[in-house]
Amino acid sequence: MHCKNIRAFFLLFSFMAIVALAFSAQSANQVVTFSVTAINEIAVSGNPGALVVTAATAGSQPNEAIDNSTTYLISSNGTNMKITGSINAAMPPGVSLKINLAAPTSGSSAGDVSLGIDSTDLVSGTGKVAEAGKTITYKLSATVAAGVVVNAHTTVTLTLTDGN
Amino acid sequence: MNATARKLGILVFVLVFGTMFLGAGAVFAGATADQTVTYEVTAINEISVSGNPAALTVSTAVAGAEPDEVSDSTTTYAITTNQSKKITGVLDTAMPAGVTLKINLVAPTGGTTVTDVTLLGTATDLVTGISPVAESGKTITYKLSATVAAGVVASANKTVTLTIADSL
């Protein structure tokens, strides 16, 4: 009985020594799990100045009013994305608001686009990009048929979305 | 008593008392004893970690800028060494293009941290100038960054190996 106890103790001690060695060594490993999700961010620098149609050459429709004081910023790790634009309510009859977005390094600008309540493509085919300071140009035009339009506001929404 | 008997007596006396003297010397030499003890301390270098960091996910960006870096500081390491050493770190395989994994180890007392080291497929110094030390709970910080050029990267694993290495 006594010999059996000694044998059992020896086996237990040996097992513990082996386990201790397994968890302590000159090197140690860690497994790092990582990922990158789809990232699509667009922002604007602020609101444009007030656009006022106020002059005309006799015999011609009123002169267009232009503002290019604002810019947009874009970050996307996707491919073939596009920027669309829309306004929250239709412009008054005879009044037209156009927008022109400078394209990021990868992408194509649609040029002067008349804004409506339905989304319209403004920039297409953007690649993976992180750029700021891209110029936004607004052009307000009105025909004489529009008459006098008192100080009004409209909200323009730019959306970065899948180009497919 | 004749001369022969006298000489014999003297001889016996010398033998007896000479033996007693030598015997007494042997008895007194046993009061101390010397032993030669052989010993050594081997080189000891042990490092362990508290576990794996939480998953690192790059998922946000400020418009116009590269995606935001993410970090994890939930794990620690323990070190015991009786020599002058350094700690190196290495990845089992390279990170995807446009994705960078950095590591920062808080140094044990006396050591110097190499701050925010980009982990590669070859061993890179993370802590230098380590003196004999036994410390635990030293924070490990991981930082994952990705450029937009990296695109979307599905969840993946990399193994980071920390090693106590010779300073030279």
Q: Does B144 touch chain A (CB under 8 A)?
A: yes
**10-residue stretch averages of pLDDT, chain A, 164 residues long:** 54 49 74 96 94 89 94 96 95 94 96 97 96 96 89 92 88
- Strand intervals (E) in B55-152: 56-58, 70-81, 85-91, 99-105, 112-113, 117-118, 124-130, 133-146
The answer to whether the beta carbons of residues A63 and A53 sit under 8 Å apart is yes
Q: Letter for the amino acid at A64?
A: E
Interface of B with A in 82-111 (CB under 8 A): 99, 101
In a domain, A26, yes or no: no
* pLDDT-above-90 percentage for chain B: 69
Lowest mean pLDDT among A111-125, A130-144, B29-43, B55-69: B29-43
Q: Return the H-helix or E-strand segment holding B9.
A: helix B3-29
Q: Is the pLDDT of residue B37 over 70?
A: no
Which of A23, A26, A29 lies nearest to residue B160, judging by beta carbons?
A29
In a domain, A67, yes or no: yes
Give this complex's ipTM: 0.76
In a domain, A30, yes or no: no
Q: Return the H-helix or E-strand segment holding A10.
A: helix A2-22
In a domain, A71, yes or no: yes
Q: Would you tell me how many other CB atoms lie within 10 Å of the CB of residue B50?
A: 17
In a domain, A89, yes or no: yes
Whole-number pLDDT of residue B5 = 61
Q: What is the pTM of this model?
A: 0.77
Tokens of residue B5, six digits: 């008997």
In a domain, A131, yes or no: yes
In a domain, A151, yes or no: yes
C-alpha of B50 from chain center? 17
Q: Is the pLDDT of residue B7 over 80?
A: no
Q: What CATH number is given to the structural domain containing A156? A: 2.60.40
- Listed by start position, the domains of chain B span 45-166
Average pLDDT estimate for B56-60: 98
Whole-number pLDDT of residue B27 = 40
Instruction: State whether A34 and B99 contact (CB < 8 Å).
Output: yes
Average pLDDT estimate for B48-62: 97
Q: How many domains does chain A have?
A: 1
Q: What is the residue-wise DSSP string for A88-149? A: SSPPPTTEEEEEEEPP-SSSEE--SEE--SS-EEEEEEE-SEEEEEEEEEEEEEE-GGG---
Instruction: State whether A75 and B66 contact (CB < 8 Å).
Output: yes
Cα-atom radius of gyration of chain B, to the nearest Å?
36
Whole-number pLDDT of residue A147 = 87
Chain A residues lying within 8 Å of B52, measured CB to CB: 30-33
Whole-number pLDDT of residue A20 = 43
pLDDT band at B13 (very low <50, low <70, confident <90, very high): low
Q: Is the pLDDT of residue B34 over 50?
A: yes
Chain B residues lying within 8 Å of A35, measured CB to CB: 55-58, 153-156
Residue listed under structure tokens 């140094």: B107
Instruction: State whether B151 and A34 contact (CB < 8 Å).
Output: no
How far does the CA of residue B36 sit from the closest CA of chain A (Å)? 30
Q: Return the H-helix or E-strand segment holding A157.
A: strand A156-162
What domain range is A137 assigned to?
A: 40-162
In a domain, A140, yes or no: yes
Domain B45-166, CATH among 3.20.20.10, 2.60.40.2040, 3.40.190.10, 3.40.50.620:
2.60.40.2040
Determine the residue among B81, B127, B148 to mutate to test chain A binding: the one whose Cβ has the most chain A Cβ atoms within 10 Å: B148
